[in-house]
Structure 1
Amino acid sequence: MNAVATGQALAPDATPDAAPHTARRTRLRDYQAQLLARMQAAQNGAPEAGHQLGVMIGSERYLLELTEAGEIVPLAQLAGVPLTQPWYLGLANVRGSLLGVIDLARYFDKDASAAGPEARLVSLAPRLGFNCALLVTRVYGLRRAAAMTPDGQQETRLRDLDGNAWTPLSLAALVREERFLHVALAPTNI
């Protein structure tokens, strides 16, 4: 039921259809503020560090430790960098900082991509020492690995109450991988 039907007054420039849209935007803004507060609390070692950030990369669900993840932002315009690996998408300007953007789906599987309408950039936490953002297909928000059960088929995977499989992904381990550190094409590939 909208405000006109209930007799509630609308703002002078509001239309009956604007009220649900405004409420959705307010809920989304509140959710984003809560998520940011929890991520900052986790990075500062606060008690909510038991939460992980649930993301989709390609068609797989992953759990990222909040202490290893930074900011979540919409996909920004990228400046391409020549002679780099196909999974290295280029540079993005995020709040005045240049971040190298990695398409993690393509990094894991050369025929995949995380690009899509719900794709987001997840920057790495400053403590990891990399000005880098990961392109993820979708952000699900906070999850608790402690509330999940081990997957009987793969010991590294977990299942939530809805039966979805989640794989923990250590960003600290990722940034130590030799392949991740070398974004330039090898001279034989040029």
Structure 2
Amino acid sequence: MANREALKELQTRLAARLQAAKAEGVAVASWLAVESGAQHFLLPLAQSGEIFSWTGVQPVPYTQPWFLGVANLRGTLTGVVDLAGLLGGSPARPEQALFESSLLALNAALEVNAALLVDRLVGLRGAQAFVASEPPAAEAAAYWGNTYVDAQGTRWQELSLQALAQHPTFLSISA
């Protein structure tokens, strides 16, 4: 009970600090920037969970090629999805590249026990890091958000993890 109250107090303090930072005009990071395949993605911090280094993944037979299998992450069996593979890319990764990649667990609030394989964590980004943005195409899947362009001309695709976790393709891992 004491742990639950301490956690609640910590969450309240963090929320108050974020609100104060916004009120003072301090830039607050909104996204975790990652690279997967040849693409750059912005994943909402509120929908992202813990980050893990690559760990052994047990393959699951008769599943989609982008579903890599299950991994034991902090004592919980978690489905591992190759983000680039799911979104249409098919990056062939040598074993060494997997050891340099990361697993990003989805926030527990999304109620999907899954982690995304990403090739590289780039850092935190806020809206002020970009010089332009474009809305998603009318025919784009519900999980596609705006595309942002940074000062170097790199295009970053916003990806709603909440919408992705509810998308039929994501939920249908059987081959």
Which of 115, 118, 131 in structure 2 is aligned with 1:136? 118
Asked if 1:90 corresponds to 2:74, the answer is no
Residue 152 of structure 1, CA deviation? 6.7
Which of 154, 163, 168 in structure 2 is aligned with 1:173? 163
Alignment of 1:1-190 (within 5 A): 45=15, 47=18, 50-109=29-88, 111-113=90-92, 116=97, 117-151=99-133, 156-185=146-175
Q: Deviations over 1:83-138 (max 9, x none)?
A: 11110000000111111000011111253357725310000000000110000111
Quick check: which one's strand share is greater?
A: 2
Amino acid of the structure 2 residue aligned with 1:52: W
In 2, are the aligned partners of 1:175 and 1:181 still within 8 Å (CA)? yes
Cα–Cα, structure 1 residues 153 and 175, in superposed 2: closer, same or farther, change >3 Å? Answer: closer
**1:7 match:** none
Which consecutive segments of 4 or more residues in structure 1 shift more than 6 A? 152-155
CA separation in 2, counterparts of 1:163 and 1:139? 19
Amino acid of the structure 1 residue aligned with 2:162: A
TM-score of the two chains, using structure 1 as the length reference: 0.67
Cα–Cα, structure 1 residues 127 and 69, in superposed 2: closer, same or farther, change >3 Å? Answer: same
TM-score of the two chains, using structure 2 as the length reference: 0.73
Which structure has more relative contact order (CA 8 Å, sep 6+)? It is: 2
Which one has the largest radius of gyration? 1
Please list every run of 5 or more consecutive structure 1 residues that lacks an aligned counterpart in the other structure.
Answer: 1-39, 186-190
Amino acid of the structure 1 residue aligned with 2:77: L
Identity of aligned residues (%): 36
Cα–Cα, structure 1 residues 69 and 152, in superposed 2: closer, same or farther, change >3 Å? Answer: closer
Please list every run of 5 or more consecutive structure 2 residues that lacks an aligned counterpart in the other structure.
Answer: 1-9, 22-27, 138-145
Residue 145 of structure 1, CA deviation? 2.6
In 2, are the aligned partners of 1:54 and 1:64 still within 8 Å (CA)? yes
CA separation in 2, counterparts of 1:125 and 1:154? 24
Amino acid of the structure 2 residue aligned with 1:160: D
CA separation in 1, counterparts of 2:89 and 2:154? 24
Number of equivalenced pairs: 144
